[in-house]
Chains A and B, each alone.
Chain A
């Protein structure tokens, strides 16, 4: 797989102009990768890449969210996703209101539905929501007039993360189609893995999974992707190794016996990577457990790691999604 210069595959004066593409994403809410087809996914990726170029070039960015109010409602902790969305809204000229959920009414016993309806009554244009339960964003979409963006709902999905990962791959390798991507770690509990398997497969990548058995989802063999239980089996031939975080509470004997055993067999360092997949790049959606699933030196490696590229492109990708949904909203999308 040859490397290409990290530039957009499409240059336009307005990064969001691909809204007009015939297969553009035309929904009111962005809840799941299942809402995309290949054309609409590529359309969003191209818009993301164009925003990334504009940010790097310090070009003026059209204020697609001028006069728009975007609420971020995060029921689970987040650093990069929350900051990334806030940055994206501000770059597009919108106003962002972050709900301090720890002090919100839900902590006083208010139901999620009541909270959502209350927030919607304040007439935000969009709501970016993260919640621990699968389907929470779908519920919000059913109850709210605002456009809802799913920023993670339990283990079900994290569609903007998958999109930004695809944009990172497109800008690094030129195209996602044909790439061999191995996802390693706690796939069972990972929304990132689910969204990435769906999107990367849609875009023509060959996705593989590598994890200890208890950290694989039920019925993983129905996902239609190869599964392995060791780096020796799973990494050879990979263009990209996507590492996933393993929460330490899951390493107390229920899913894997201990942190040290997990690190011994499923912790990736430069030596192991060079042994099994010397040409591969490494990604991680964050936050990382340095010294557990990935060593610090590999995460910070100048030529192997794409982790900071993912963070940078996260803002551009979220700008593309926000712009698209705003345009759809104005256009009366269902």
Chain B
């Protein structure tokens, strides 16, 4: 995409929209005026009373205008490389998913465990994509990483990258040290002693897959929360995907309550989707039983789990051409995050405002970044969405370098039309369509 073709410095009026603003809990007709990267006017009617001379005007025709998404959990495959998901490819894929900010966690091939690694990451982040926030690794090899220096280098937060240290005393020391820098810490619920190939249960045992008990997630969650409480920090903890973990959350002292998140895939799919051992459904954590999925949707509705993530975990397409147990884990999800989450609205399970709160405002506030709302003075990070447009998701058509997704071939309802970051239109569906047809 040549985003320069979409960008202009002129003021922009968007009118005729259905405005969704979780910060003010407003869901109704509205219009906004954008100027100098910010929202400078908001109207709760279909039109603005006045518009500056020379402003561009966009008739939103009843589409939803809402804050762009903030994705708390993504990964890349490396900083450079043909065919791999890099900061450059992820930043552009994020735009196609309506994501203005994405936290990139450490991964095997991009460990983000030194200040130099953080600087190298940021050097590869393009200006014409979404804002990528690198999470510094809590560990450098087997020792504590340089949290202070990584923060100076640009680490937005710290993360264990899904690799929980088996040494709880070490984890407590890490949290205490991180706390002194005021850094948000993201902790995983993946127990280090299990392989997380499948969830123990009738489906896994019937398929001959070694299963990890679902209750292990609650075990790890409780331990992480307690250690964080001991270190007097309030971490982001996830993924939360089981009813046992939700039950643990309900029992926690409000003071100890961590901010938790769940991957959108676990709101969409259950273990039965693994029934024909299709490697597209090899995810981490593994898919759960449908009771878990239903309970998780309810927890999203009530805000017990307040954040939905893509948990975009790119892998090689060839890695999916293996038997299930040997297949690559994960997939490209960030472009499917919004339509997949919208299916909860279309089924009547979760209201649109609640959904957008979980996709934008709450993760923004958890990270302490200025986005996620439509108010005068707020950065103009916005998306325009046709709620009802149906689409058949095609992994091969993704902008992500990874062409594997559990949503491949699925019919979803809701299409992202445009993404603005700081007032600049960075993604336009019709423009993409025209380029593709050329």
Contact = CB atoms under 8 A, between A and B. Distances in A.
Interface of A: 111-113, 131, 133-136, 138-139, 143, 153-157, 191, 194, 217-220, 222-223
Nearest to A191: B208
A157 B200 contact: no
A217 B205 contact: yes
A112 B276 CA distance: 18
Given A134-B277, A156-B207, A139 B323 contact: yes
Nearest to B211: A218
Given A219-B201, A222-B201, 9 more contacts: A111-B322, A112-B322, A112-B323, A133-B323, A134-B208, A153-B208, A154-B323, A219-B211, A223-B205
Given A134-B207, A218-B211, A222-B201, A154 B322 contact: no
Contacts of A217: 205
B198 to A, nearest CB: 9
A222 B208 contact: no
A156 B208 contact: yes
A157 B205 CA distance: 11
B321 interface: yes
B318 interface: yes
Interface string B161-201: 00000000000000000000000000000000000000011
Contacts of B279: 135, 139
A156 B326 CA distance: 14
Nearest to A198: B206
Interface of B: 200-202, 204-211, 213, 276-279, 318, 321-326
A157 B324 CA distance: 14
A154 B318 CA distance: 21
A203 B211 CA distance: 28
Given A155-B208, A194-B206, A134 B201 contact: no
6 contacts: A112-B323, A113-B321, A134-B208, A134-B324, A139-B322, A222-B201
A322 B419 CA distance: 56
Residue from the set B202, B205, B213, B279 with the largest chain A CB neighbour count within 10 Å: B205
B202 A135 contact: no
Contacts of A135: 207, 276-277, 279, 323-325
A194 B206 CA distance: 7
B208 A154 contact: yes
Contact of A153 (B200, B321, B322, B323): B323
6 smallest beta-carbon distances between A and B, as pairs: A135-B277, A155-B208, A156-B208, A113-B321, A133-B323, A222-B202
Given A111-B321, A113-B322, A134-B323, A219 B208 contact: no
B253 to A, nearest CB: 32
Contacts of B204: 218-219
B204 to A, nearest CB: 6
A268 B200 CA distance: 30
A276 B306 CA distance: 58
A245 B318 CA distance: 35
Contacts of A133: 322-326
Contacts of B276: 135, 138
A157 B326 CA distance: 17
A131 B322 CA distance: 11
B277 A218 contact: no
Nearest to A75: B323
A247 to B, nearest CB: 15
B323 A136 contact: yes
A134 B322 contact: no
A218 B213 CA distance: 8
Contact of A154 (B200, B211, B321, B325): B325
Contacts of B321: 111-113, 139, 143
Contact of A194 (B200, B208, B277): B208
Nearest to A117: B321
Residue from the set B208, B321, B326 with the largest chain A CB neighbour count within 10 Å: B208
Residue from the set A112, A139, A143, A194 with the largest chain B CB neighbour count within 10 Å: A139
Contact of B208 (A112, A157, A220): A157
Nearest to A133: B323
A153 B279 CA distance: 15
A153 B206 CA distance: 12
Nearest to B197: A134
A218 B208 contact: no
A194 B276 CA distance: 15
A134 B318 CA distance: 18
A45 B278 CA distance: 30
A178 B264 CA distance: 47
Contacts of A157: 208
Contacts of B325: 133-135, 154
A112 B326 CA distance: 10
A112 B278 CA distance: 15
B318 A218 contact: no
A134 B207 CA distance: 7
A138 B325 CA distance: 12
Nearest to A135: B277
Contacts of A111: 318, 321-322
A52 B207 CA distance: 31
Residue from the set A111, A133, A138, A191 with the largest chain B CB neighbour count within 10 Å: A133
Nearest to A197: B206
A130 to B, nearest CB: 12
A113 B318 contact: yes
A134 B275 CA distance: 11
Contacts of B201: 218-219, 222
Contacts of A218: 200-201, 204-205, 210-211, 213
Contacts of A112: 321-323, 326
A217 B206 CA distance: 9
Contacts of B205: 217-220, 222-223
Nearest to B323: A133
Contacts of A194: 206, 208
B323 A223 contact: no
B277 to A, nearest CB: 3
Contacts of B278: 138
Contacts of A134: 207-209, 277, 323-325
Nearest to A136: B323
B194 to A, nearest CB: 12
B199 to A, nearest CB: 9
